Amino acid sequence: MNNESLTGLVTGPNLLSYIETLSLQDHNDIADCNNIATLSADRGHNRYTDSKGWFEEYVFTLKYFGWALYEDSIFTRTKHLVTGSVADFLVQSAQVMKDSRQANAMIDTLDALKADQPAVLSFDRETRQGETFQIIPARYDSRNNVHIAVYKLELSVDIRKHNFLFWDWEKRSAKITQQQAFFKLDRHQLNSKRTLIKNKLNDHLMRRFNLRRNRPMTAQ
C-alpha cells in the first residue's frame, strides 16, 4: 500500500488524522491498538451510557500496549457550543493548537472522509450519528517518536442527523462535551506485545477505511 497520500483512517468510532505522512508500520500500529482498545472498552462498558468508564478502559488498554499517557491523566471534560458544522469546529480547534500543521491536516482528513461515503456511513453508524466519537491526530516529534492526542467528543442535539460531521447546525442547537488524553508510543513495549496483538485482532478486526489526501501536500 502506498502511504504517501494517506491523511487518516476511520475505524469504529475513531477518526484518525495524520499531521504528516506516517510509515506503514506506524499507520498499522495505531490502527491495531485503537482497534483493540475500542473493543476492550466496549466489552467492559456501554459506549453511550457509561462514557467515563468506557474512556478509562480505552486509555488503560492503550497504556498496556505501549502508549505512555502524558502526566498519567485524562484531562477535564469541557463543553462547547457548535455554530455551523462539527467539521468546522474541529478545524477551528486545530487552528489554536501549538502545531500549525494540525489544521491543514484536519482539513485534508475531513475532505477525504466527506468524499468516501462508505466511511461516512460507517462513522455515522458506529457513533450513533455523533452521540459519542473520537478524533485522534497523530504526528512525529523531532526524534521520530509517534504521538497521538485522543479527543473524546459527545454531541448533544435534539435530532440526530446523517452525515452529522458536515451538517450545518443552527446556532446554539448543538453542544459538544470533550475529554482528552495525550500519548507517546514506546515502540519497544509495543514490539513485546505483537503476538498478543495478532491474537486479539484474529478474534475481531474492526472495519477500516483508509483516507487519502485529495490535494497535493504543500511545503511546510
pLDDT digits (tens, 9 = 90+) for 115-171: 999 999 999 999 999 999 999 999 999 999 999 999 999 999 999 999 999 999 987
Dist CA 107 CA 94 (whole Å): 9
Do the domain assignments include residue 41? Answer: yes
Query: In the predicted model, what is the mean pLDDT of residues 22-50?
Result: 96
Residue 149 phi/psi, 5° resolution?
-110, 135
pLDDT-based confidence at 102, cuts 50/70/90?
A: confident
- Name the residue with cell 517518536: 145
Which triple of cell numbers denotes residue 170?
A: 443552527
Dist CA 118 CA 120 (whole Å): 5
Residue 131 phi/psi, 5° resolution?
-60, -40
pLDDT of 218 over the 70 cut = no
Let me know: does 184 contact 67? Beta carbons within 8 Å. Answer: yes
- Three-state secondary-structure class, residue 167: coil
Q: Rounded to the nearest 10 degrees, how much is the dihedral formed by the CA atoms of 192, 196, 201, 203?
A: 180
pLDDT-based confidence at 71, cuts 50/70/90?
A: confident
Q: What is the pLDDT of residue 206?
A: 93
Do the domain assignments include residue 1? Answer: no
Do the domain assignments include residue 196? Answer: yes
In the chain, the percentage of residues whose pLDDT exceeds 90 is 78
Q: What is the pTM of this model?
A: 0.92
Identify how many contiguous H helices and E strands the chain contains and give both numbers. 7, 8
Which triple of cell numbers denotes residue 179?
A: 475529554
pLDDT-based confidence at 216, cuts 50/70/90?
A: low
Class of residue 92 by CB neighbours under 10 A (exposed 0-12, middle 13-18, buried 19+):
middle
Which triple of cell numbers denotes residue 51?
A: 462514557
Q: What is the pLDDT of residue 219?
A: 37
Domain range for 16 is: 7-211
* Counted domains in the chain: 1
Do the domain assignments include residue 175? Answer: yes
Dist CA 33 CA 151 (whole Å): 16
Do the domain assignments include residue 217? Answer: no
Do the domain assignments include residue 57? Answer: yes
Nearest to 149 by CA among 192, 108, 193, 105: 105
Do the domain assignments include residue 2? Answer: no
Q: What is the pLDDT of residue 101?
A: 83
pLDDT of 63 over the 90 cut = yes
